[in-house]
Structure 1
């Protein structure tokens, strides 16, 4: 009996036996495992701190963390005119949070949401414009809250703030250098200048369309203010749970200042950099170093590590169901 040979797969296409989508579903779980192994000492110490804390306040911190996903979903909807399916949008924000902690800052959540909007039928140009508008609104909301608290509590942080004078000067010089480099690149590279100009036109058009609808504008800016406020409220709740001797408003100010200071650090989810900045900020606000360290470790356990595995499972499920 002669064996029947199957024709070879066409060039440029994977053989059918490779389950690409199933493999992609497992990638988030693999990344979670790697991140947990690399940070096992931090996880052990953080869970140890949680055992001695006041549970009602920890539950309040968990509630504030859950509400951040709702605020993110509201802001995402406010950034695009086309209505998005509400349940899938909320699930996508939960999954995007996990992706954001596994990839360099902002790239994971941005990629997940960009894919979600395109699957929902939003053209790629408008999806990119909506993503840029969301990032701008989130940045403005965070800085607006920070400025309001700095005006209301000018002495909340000790002199010198999060950075010594020399480091702050170097940071300003670095930011100025990046700005000059970007302007020079746009001036010298015609193709890049054309692409950026086209994107800016699309982004401005999407922003105008959003702001002609009061409900969308309210969702965009209300959500962008609620998101960092809820994050800060979570840290305040953990501080109360562990008896941190710092006023709640000062803790919120320390959180906003720390996250603004590390916004340009390209680490996955700010792992490492956010912890260090938060500890320095809480100490600058008047907290003892040991208690501030315990508060930050417990806070990061609640906001990063506890949702990471279910978020990765949700991300894999959304990929499998072709939601993203």
Structure 2
């Protein structure tokens, strides 16, 4: 390569691989949005759309028929020649690899617009219709397939051709809209659809085939470095451009000058950085994030300036040579060769205190590094230096400085061990600084690239945190909240959305329900409310006994109301189980003990439900026809066959069999062991049994009271069977709290036993108000109170 009369040798392959950039993804998203908007507006407002376009066409259509024909003749020739012009341009530019995507985009666009309800439709040109233009070329503009094909091939070829050509050709294609209106010819609605389909198809083809390499302006890079006094005699490619920059090694004729590293960033190689910065700003608090870098040049410039600032302190492993903008959107960052070896390769001969001393120099000058992975830390002649600087900040705030300490704790713990790393950090930075920064030793606060740089990041963070607690004499380190939304806030937001979702079907029945309340017996309703409240005492008693009576009983009773809110607003009631476990943990139980207590209570609840269902079904069978709930023999045989088939599959498939042996069997064994252990304590077992039975029977009694409130007449045994069978069938419903499924099952069950619909419907709704909706709306402030008092 000849630059300003000097011969510069270039060694290595500069050809960049085809890449799928963020721009390609955004192009697909935008084209898909346009296509959706065109189709939606066409379906919703097609009549008004046509009338509006005809009205505009009459206003602006000032040309005579002869003039319109001339305009269409000229524009039709241009549009007819456009795809061939694009093809010739690609051939002249020697873009041979683009021919296949070009043909594929054209074919797919025409095919997509040719599909109708009756199959594929061939082009239909109206050469002899008097209400259309008389020129043959004008008929191409009347067919959206031609417009779609042009848009597709233009989209595919755009990244490979000069920008001036691309801009002129798009202008020519989009001119069909004003031309249609001015000459008062045809309504361009179908052409707009063709344009949207073509752009979308072309965007998809680009995403699959990839965008091309850009010509690298090496001569500009050599001139920029020469202005800074580094005369380049040879360039060697170390890594071709791709997901990262093009990296070259630059040699000079001056023997006193060391080789330099040249990093060249293409115009789209950091396009993902903007999306990442936006995500961090949305997720993290403002004090946790660095200022936005509006462009790739600003990001590279910031990195170079931080290298200069840190170099002045004597702890930078490189120095900046040149930064600048080059032709075709490239940006140059040239710096001296990195000195020293990575810390991971020489940590055995480098004291860990030296690493912390280097960080201390940065912190004294209020500089944060932001990327303290072991590969960004080098050692030369026993001195520790830093590199990278892409996330470094001058004038960093306290949060960024504490983040650096936490990152280096993770890195040095992985290399030196937790005790040595923490001891060195305390000796250099002081006990208070390390203890405060250790609040960030969490998965959320430690950046992902730091966690990915060490093996077993979770274990490393835990060991480092434990070492800080030991060496500072601290019993507990409160985690730092670095996100804009805490976990509890997100959970509450999800629960509120779920509450609105599950309440919607109930809201639609409110008018009918209130009309029926005028004839209800309020004393029965009040009794039902008392019974519903007593079920929470029973559930609390069962959980209290399951926890070996080691927690506050009345706190558990209050928490059961919040438990109802959490269980109702989450599918399968998982929120209630999680909240119960959390309450036991906050009451002093370990995680294992709390989980075991909740599992024991739930297991006993299922066992008591099944036993009571068998007992009351037997009792009801003596006096009541239960054929409504018993499937026909064919269905029973089918259920039995499916059950045996599943058992066979579980036993025959090795992976499933191993899963049963490794995951399910130990948990069943653990629960069985807990039940046997509880059985040896009659008082405790009796309390659990009574609490679980009281919860089930209390629900049945509340439904029976609700039926009596509306003048119904049905036995308690019958209502108990309906409650348990209906609840069991509705438990498989995907809606949180079984909303909709529970009501339908209970109303159907009561109707099967002869309860009129005029009584069954309001009775079930009253029952759901007493046992579900009132506790849900009361449970929300109760959960807030528990949260404020650090009980959950």
TM-score, normalised to structure 2's length? Answer: 0.38
Distance 1:53 1:126 in 2: 46
Distance 1:181 1:47 in 2: 52
Distance 2:761 2:639 in 1: 25
Distance 1:41 1:179 in 2: 43
Structural mapping, 1:111-126, within 5 Å: 111-126=578-593
TM-score, normalised to structure 1's length? Answer: 0.86
Among 547, 559, 569, the residue aligned to 1:102? 569
How far apart are residue 275 of structure 1 and its match?
0.9
Among 498, 516, 538, the residue aligned to 1:31? 498
Structural mapping, 1:35-74, within 5 Å: 35-74=502-541
Query: Which has the higher mean CA deviation after the structures are superposed, 78-87 or 51-60?
Result: 78-87
Task: Decide whether aligned partners of structure 1 residues 176 and 238 sit closer, same or farther in structure 2, where only a CA change above 3 A counts.
Answer: farther
What residue is the counterpart of 2:629 in the other structure? Answer: 162
Structure 1: stretches of 5+ with no match in the other structure: none
Counterpart check, 1:293 vs 2:775: no
- Per-residue CA deviation, residues 11-52 of structure 1 (Å, 9 max, x unaligned), is 732537645545545554443334323531034433443332
Say which SS state the counterpart of residue 621 (structure 2) adopts: coil
Counterpart check, 1:89 vs 2:556: yes
Distance 1:252 1:102 in 2: 25
Query: Which has the higher mean CA deviation after the structures are superposed, 56-65 or 84-93?
Result: 84-93
Task: Decide whether aligned partners of structure 1 residues 272 and 37 sit closer, same or farther in structure 2, where only a CA change above 3 A counts.
Answer: closer
Say which SS state the counterpart of residue 105 (structure 1) adopts: helix
Structure 1 or 2: larger helix share? 1
Task: Decide whether aligned partners of structure 1 residues 265 and 28 sit closer, same or farther in structure 2, where only a CA change above 3 A counts.
Answer: closer
Alpha-carbon contact 1:73-1:89 (below 8 Å) kept: yes
Among 196, 200, 210, the residue aligned to 2:678? 210
Task: Decide whether aligned partners of structure 1 residues 65 and 26 sit closer, same or farther in structure 2, where only a CA change above 3 A counts.
Answer: same
Distance 1:209 1:159 in 2: 38
Structure 1 or 2: larger strand share? 2
Task: Decide whether aligned partners of structure 1 residues 247 and 201 sit closer, same or farther in structure 2, where only a CA change above 3 A counts.
Answer: closer
Alpha-carbon contact 2:498-2:569 (below 8 Å) kept: yes
Alpha-carbon contact 1:251-1:285 (below 8 Å) kept: no
Instruction: State the structure with more CA Rg.
Output: 2
Task: Decide whether aligned partners of structure 1 residues 171 and 267 sit closer, same or farther in structure 2, where only a CA change above 3 A counts.
Answer: farther
Distance 2:557 2:696 in 1: 17
How far apart are residue 55 of structure 1 and its match?
0.2
Structure 2: stretches of 5+ with no match in the other structure: 1-393, 408-443, 446-480
Structural mapping, 1:271-286, within 5 Å: 271-286=739-754
Query: Which has the higher mean CA deviation after the structures are superposed, 30-39 or 64-73?
Result: 30-39
Structural mapping, 1:128-277, within 5 Å: 128-154=595-621, 158-162=625-629, 164-165=631-632, 188=656, 190=658, 193-277=661-745
Alpha-carbon contact 2:712-2:755 (below 8 Å) kept: yes
Distance 2:685 2:395 in 1: 63
Alpha-carbon contact 2:619-2:717 (below 8 Å) kept: no
Task: Decide whether aligned partners of structure 1 residues 133 and 21 sit closer, same or farther in structure 2, where only a CA change above 3 A counts.
Answer: closer
Say which SS state the counterpart of residue 249 (structure 1) adopts: helix
Query: Which has the higher mean CA deviation after the structures are superposed, 167-176 or 141-150?
Result: 167-176
What residue is the counterpart of 2:777 in the other structure? Answer: 309
Task: Decide whether aligned partners of structure 1 residues 18 and 282 sit closer, same or farther in structure 2, where only a CA change above 3 A counts.
Answer: closer
Alpha-carbon contact 1:103-1:268 (below 8 Å) kept: yes
Task: Decide whether aligned partners of structure 1 residues 178 and 298 sit closer, same or farther in structure 2, where only a CA change above 3 A counts.
Answer: farther
Distance 1:234 1:81 in 2: 29
Aligned residue pair count: 322
Task: Decide whether aligned partners of structure 1 residues 37 and 78 sit closer, same or farther in structure 2, where only a CA change above 3 A counts.
Answer: same
Distance 2:636 2:768 in 1: 26
CA-atom RMSD in angstroms: 2.9
How far apart are residue 88 of structure 1 and its match?
1.5
How far apart are residue 181 of structure 1 and its match?
5.6
Alpha-carbon contact 2:531-2:701 (below 8 Å) kept: yes
Task: Decide whether aligned partners of structure 1 residues 32 and 106 sit closer, same or farther in structure 2, where only a CA change above 3 A counts.
Answer: closer
Distance 1:160 1:255 in 2: 16
Distance 1:170 1:45 in 2: 40
Distance 1:320 1:110 in 2: 20
Say which SS state the counterpart of residue 253 (structure 1) adopts: helix
Task: Decide whether aligned partners of structure 1 residues 73 and 171 sit closer, same or farther in structure 2, where only a CA change above 3 A counts.
Answer: farther
Distance 2:746 2:562 in 1: 25
What residue is the counterpart of 1:76 in the other structure? Answer: 543
Alpha-carbon contact 2:540-2:557 (below 8 Å) kept: yes
Counterpart check, 1:127 vs 2:594: yes
Distance 1:173 1:49 in 2: 46
